[in-house]
Amino acid sequence: MVVPELRPWRAARPHVVRIADAVRPRLARAAAAAKPRVARLAQVGKPQVARVTRSKTWQYTAGATTAGLALAAGVVTAAGPWDSAGQRTAERDRAVALGRTGGTDHGRAPGAPAQPRPAPSAGPVLTSLGGVSTVKSAPDGRALAKTLTPLLKDPELGPRPAAAVVDVTTGRRLFGTGSDAALVPASTTKIATAVAALSAMGADHRLTTRAALEPDTKEVVLVGGGDPTLTAREASDGWASLRTLADKTAAALAQRGIRDVTLSYDTTRYAGTQQHPIGVNPNLALVSPLMVDEGRTDDSASGPVTRVTDPAADAARRFGDLLKSRGIKATAPGPSKATTRANTLATVASPPLSTLVERMLTNSDNDIAEALARQTAIATGHPADFAGADRAINARLRKLGLPLKGAAFKDGSGLNRADRLTADLLTALLAKAADPAHPELRPALTGLPVAGFTGTLTTRYTDGAAGVVRAKTGTLTGVNTLAGTVVDQDGRLLAFAFMANDTRNPAAAQKALDKAATTLAACGCR
């Protein structure tokens, strides 16, 4: 199944206007309800804001934000990595590639046309986190069960679907059915990967690629730092650039009077096998700490495509070609390891982790997910392989006090069918990311696709809760999952998770999950 990205914003404008008219009353209620809470959060958050402002890599304002597009001016409390217009930087950065394909394919029929498009820049989000409703209480659990239970009995959701709904303000579970059953989560695994990585490294962490010179042999070593967003394209669009690294390296060599070098590359940052258990697959490259443009063989930025057979060797070869064009003669590259004597010639760094997480979640990017899982392992002292990443993610989430019974993280992307999560864990992850005490986790919410507008939810909810639901999708053969946040009719922010295994019709199962989320958005449920 292909999960399409968003069509150009201009074509969507009439739809946006209709949605704006529909949600304007809800925005007004949410703004009024949030005002006292935002004021309190602003006072409490002043020291943190000051520290983060000094770093100049991402910004927080009073409170945290998620849950949908703000389609009326003046009802925004921004948090996470935003530009001056209040737009999410990950989506803004991807908007420059409107002609490229995107999204994730978990089983598109051979020969079917590739439909995904990159997400445009999302508008400011709908309401603030950390206590949206101070006017009305959370929905009544019995009323919520009466509303959702019939929908979850849809036979298209398989024999035993699981679900959980949590009030984000209090963390209290309002509804659950099979919510402690460990099921195959598919790509909703990426929410756990995001929270673990942000918890372990912080939202400002960057991944560095460097070129080093061995002083005795004139060997230049390209050292992979684990940045899957490193690009060799002329327009880097804010990502770390291999061309910039070549510029700096050539200049540093010229200063030393060196014009002829032996070129090699170092991939020792990661351990274990590079091959994902699913084998060669267009949804991801080999898991290597050195790659450019995710090993893609076309100009796409996301989505399924044939990958190069050896991403590290490909990156080093292209780096060598760039050096030659800058007057440095380089040999054909081979694998090596930079010694402790090697002098760093030049470095390039990725955008902050907050931006990588947003891109991962918005586009369901498997390459970024696997990279962040291994970086989490490194940051916590575990081996940088699949097993080490599993232990590291478990450890970080356990430290956050999350319910991990039955959980298994056999990869970071959710492509491994041996992964297991519960609906309780998914909602707990979302609630934790909304907790004002953990602002570093906020990108796990701001990166969620917006229903009807961005990422993997672009073409969904066009007749329902567009702009009100934010959620991560999960799709494998026989697996359909959805987890995210929604603002109900009373302006209350809820976290939800719906999980269905043993489904037979992916389109019908997806429609059933969307109906449940739409019903939740329309619910007062008192």
Catalytic residues: 187, 190, 364
Residue 87 pairs in a beta bridge with: none
Count of Cβ atoms closer than 10 Å to residue 231 Cβ: 21
Minimal CA–CA distance to 207: which of 348, 318, 53, 384? 348
Q: Which of 202, 196, 245, 200 is closest to 222 using CA atoms?
A: 245
* d(C-alpha 311, C-alpha 290), whole Å: 7
Structure tokens at 129: 């986190």
The number of residues making up the chain comes to 526
The SS3 of residue 196 is helix
Give the three-state DSSP class for 368: helix
Amino acid letter, 137 = S
Separation CA 159–CA 73 (nearest Å)? 45
SS3 helix, strand, coil % of the chain, rounded to 5? Answer: 35, 20, 45
- In 323-439, the DSSP E strands lie at 329-330, 334-335, 343-349
360 is written with which tokens?
């991962």
Collect all residues with Cβ–Cβ distance below 8 Å to 40 and sequence separation of at least 6. none
**Tokens 């054909």 correspond to what residue?**
332
Whose tokens are 């258990």? That residue is: 277
- The CA distance from 195 to 189, in Å, is 10
Question: Would you tell me the crossing angle of helices 353-363 and 366-379 to the nearest 10 degrees?
Answer: 140
CA distance linking residue 460 with residue 457, whole number of Å: 5
CA distance 409 to 413: 9
Helix (H, G, I), strand (E, B) or coil at 268: coil
Task: Tell me how crowded residue 59 is: count the other CB atoms within 10 A of its CB.
Answer: 16
Q: Which two tokens stand for residue 255?
A: 């200063």
Name beta bridge partners: 420: 408
In the chain, the amino acid numbered 114 is A
